[in-house]
Amino acid sequence: MIEHLIPILIGTLGAATPLVLAGLGELVTEKSGVLNLGVEGMMLIGAVAGFACAVETGGGAGAGLVAGAIAGMGAALLFAVIVLSLAANQAAAGLALTIFGIGLSAFIGQSYVSYSLPGLKPWAIPGLSSIPVVGPIFFRQDFVVYLSFALFGLVWWVLARTRLGLLLRAVGESPESAHAIGFPVIAIRYGAVLFGGAMAGMAGAYLSCVYTPLWVQNMTAGRGWIAVALVVFATWKPLRLLLGAWLFGGVTILQLHAQGLGIAVPSQLLSALPYVATVLVLVLISRDRKLLQLNLPASLGKPFLPGS
């Protein structure tokens, strides 16, 4: 049992990284009052763009991650034009983005089906990685895992401690008042949506270039939706999001190690575990309406057009 625990925990962090990245992006987007349900689509577009770029340029995972982030941002821009400039229904536009992303990524990915990439070697941080137990779990990971820690810190700091964070929250709470004071509501929301897109795109590229370094159609397998659910679970707080992502990473990895642990349940039913867990967690957290109401950005999902 114990000999499985450390590998499971090490794997947990890697499995959680796409959720952390996409989840943080969606958190910032939702804080600005925009509900983007297209995370799954943006992740897929990022995954295929990252993979294609890594293969074509030979630049490896690093180039793939950058390309993924840019592609995710492009997809988010499409969404932003429709919901911010044209004030379309956000839920429907998010679904459109996901359907579009599934189609586009499969279309582009068709010619990359048989390719594979070398992936990324874990990079042990000298000193820290030799701490027993904690060292191998946290400090012998690939650099994207460290990057996700850094981005978590950045998002937390910006939201909680800076003027930009205050502005973002003001726009999400009451775009009318923010507009009346003279803040560029639409511009700020564009920024937040694009940031969300870049993060989702990078999360997708992590999957295709690092985690399982090959292209498979629909390879995100609902992780984008789990990231959206995580934001609700986290009640729009970054630290809870990080912990929630680790929890889900753990469930995912547990299912891979189930055979070794001697759990005799059919693999398909174990694969359903993360999705069942998402539903259960949503139920648990949503029961407390007050907690949700308290943290929910008041204008989430409502279109806003200045001057109307």
Partner 1 sequence: MLEPRPNPSRKMQLASPLIAIALTLFVGGNLFIALHKSPLDAFRVFFIEPLSTANGWSELAIKAGPLILIAQGLAIGFRARIFNIGAEGQLIMGAICGGGIAIWLDGVDSAWVLPLMVLAGAVGGGLWGALPAWLKTHFNAEETLTTLMLSYVASFLLSWLVSSPWRDPGGMNFPQSVMFGDPALFSMLFEGMRVNTSIFIVIAAVLVFWVFVTKSFLAYQLTVGGQAPQAARYAGFSSRRTVWVSLVVSGVTAGLAGVGEVAGPIGQLNLNISPGYGYAAIIVAWIGRLHPVGIVLSGLLMALIYLGGEAAQVTLQLPAAITGLFQGLLLFFLLGCDVFIDYRLRRHKRKKRIAPTPAVRGPETPDAPETAMVPEPTAAPLRTASIQGERA
Closer residue to partner 1, CB minimum distance, 38 or 250: 38
Q: Helix, strand or coil for residue 287?
A: coil
Q: Are 226 and 278 in contact (CB under 8 A)?
A: yes
Task: Provide the minimum distance between the beta carbon of 160 and partner 1 in the complex, in angstroms, as a whole number.
Answer: 25
Closer residue to partner 1, CB minimum distance, 89 or 129: 89
Task: Provide the minimum distance between the beta carbon of 109 and partner 1 in the complex, in angstroms, as a whole number.
Answer: 8
Closer residue to partner 1, CB minimum distance, 32 or 90: 90
Closer residue to partner 1, CB minimum distance, 121 or 289: 289
Q: Helix, strand or coil for residue 32?
A: coil
Closer residue to partner 1, CB minimum distance, 51 or 138: 51
Task: Provide the minimum distance between the beta carbon of 194 and partner 1 in the complex, in angstroms, as a whole number.
Answer: 17
Closer residue to partner 1, CB minimum distance, 17 or 98: 98
Task: Provide the minimum distance between the beta carbon of 31 and partner 1 in the complex, in angstroms, as a whole number.
Answer: 17
d(CA 183, CA 175): 9
Closer residue to partner 1, CB minimum distance, 72 or 136: 72
Task: Provide the minimum distance between the beta carbon of 153 and partner 1 in the complex, in angstroms, as a whole number.
Answer: 27
Distance set, CA 136 to CA 2, 13, 171 (Å): 15, 11, 42
The residues near 260 (Cβ < 8 Å, ≥ 6 apart) are 4
d(CA 291, CA 289): 5
The residues near 152 (Cβ < 8 Å, ≥ 6 apart) are 20, 24, 238, 241, 242
Q: Are 59 and 217 in contact (CB under 8 A)?
A: no
Beta strands in the chain (DSSP E): 123-124, 140-141
**177 is written with which tokens?**
């008042």
Task: Provide the minimum distance between the beta carbon of 302 and partner 1 in the complex, in angstroms, as a whole number.
Answer: 8
- Cα maximum dimension of the chain: 63
Site residues, partner 1 (CB under 8 A): 37, 41, 78, 81-82, 86-89, 91-93, 95-97, 99-107, 109-110, 217, 221-222, 225-226, 228-229, 232, 266, 268-269, 271-272, 275-276, 278-279, 282-284, 286-287, 289, 292, 303, 305, 307-308
Q: Residue 79 is inside which H or E element, if any?
A: helix 60-80
Task: Provide the minimum distance between the beta carbon of 249 and partner 1 in the complex, in angstroms, as a whole number.
Answer: 17
